[in-house]
Amino acid sequence: MNYNQLINKALDITKKYRYLWWLSLLAIIGGVAQDGGGNSANFNFNTSSYQLDQFPPELTKFFDNFIDKIYLYLPIIITVILILAVIKIALYVIGLIAKSGLIASIVLIDNKKSSSFSHSLSLGKNHAWRYFLVRLIGGLAGLAITIVSIPIFILLFLFFFLTIPTFIVIMIIVGLVFHIAQILIVINNQPIFTTISSAWKIITQNWKKVAMLWLINLGLGLAVGIVSIGIMLILGLIGGLIAFLLYLLKLQIATIALICSPIILIIIITMLLIGSISTTFFTTYWTLGIKELLKK
């Protein structure tokens, strides 16, 4: 496998077929842009030294009144939650259609066939359900491994230098299996468990090539992340400097926020643009790579 040629081809497709960016954007908004696990942040606040009676009386009274009258707002709260849940589900479904349509379009492009944004969505509808099931099974598999690993970590805590790396390697392999399966479910249009089995077979029979694809993906992903952080820092510093100068002019907070809102909008648009382009590239990179492995 010529990895340089693979990267260049993925770049060419990403640059030439920009409607793929819109599919990636829908996948990002739907929360299905990433094929593997994500990062999570936990924010822990130490409240043990700050008792309830230390709150200002006005704030305590406000919360007391709110709790007493919460039943009045309960229908509104429930309605808002239901509306948000419906919107989230709708966006997720659209994201699934867009992501599976993105893969299908990349396959067509690589096969020298024409496609379009609307055609991609039409193709995505045919694969979205099984694409979702593969993601679901992959998530459940990762959860099961994590649950099983917890007591093992506790029992063998003295051997953490072995158990933790082993757990990481297992999770990477499982992630790769279902990452490849999500592409195969669109390419081969096979039953779900047949697809997962095929993904496992690809890894076992081509483990060196799959490992190289993963390492290249890791390196390019880090590079994209560093560039993205740099751009966000520059835009954030510009916005912060403007806000500070406006504060020195003794403008009201609302006025400062209004003036700085275009910068916040630019930051959001820039993040979505970078995400859309990178998602298109990495999806193309893996789809072409898996297609190449299927030829062997």
Asked whether residue 48 is assigned to any structural domain, the reply reads no
Nearest-CA neighbor of 18 among 92, 93, 102, 99?
102
Percentage of the chain lying above the pLDDT 90 cut: 58
* pLDDT higher than 60, residue 191: yes
Rounded to whole angstroms, how far apart are CA atoms 57 and 155?
A: 49
Give the model confidence (pLDDT) of 76-135 as tens digits: 888 989 999 999 999 999 999 999 999 999 999 999 998 899 999 999 999 999 999 999
Asked whether residue 44 is assigned to any structural domain, the reply reads no
Residue 95 and residue 29 in contact, taking contact as beta carbons nearer than 8 Å: yes
Asked whether residue 42 is assigned to any structural domain, the reply reads no
Structural domains counted in the chain:
1
Question: pTM value?
Answer: 0.81
Average pLDDT over residues 152-164: 79
Rounded to whole angstroms, how far apart are CA atoms 57 and 54?
A: 9
DSSP H helices in 156-206: 160-187, 192-205
Nearest-CA neighbor of 149 among 126, 174, 129?
174
Rounded to whole angstroms, how far apart are CA atoms 38 and 134?
A: 17
Rounded to whole angstroms, how far apart are CA atoms 249 and 140?
A: 55
Asked whether residue 31 is assigned to any structural domain, the reply reads yes
* pLDDT higher than 80, residue 52: no
Residue 96 and residue 132 in contact, taking contact as beta carbons nearer than 8 Å: yes
- What's the pLDDT at 44? 40
Average pLDDT over residues 237-261: 83
The amino acid that residue 49 corresponds to is S
* pLDDT higher than 90, residue 70: no
Counts for the chain of helices (H) and strands (E), in that order: 9, 0
Domain range for residue 66?
A: 3-35+56-294
Give the model confidence (pLDDT) of 21-34 as tens digits: 999 999 999 988 77
* pLDDT higher than 60, residue 48: no
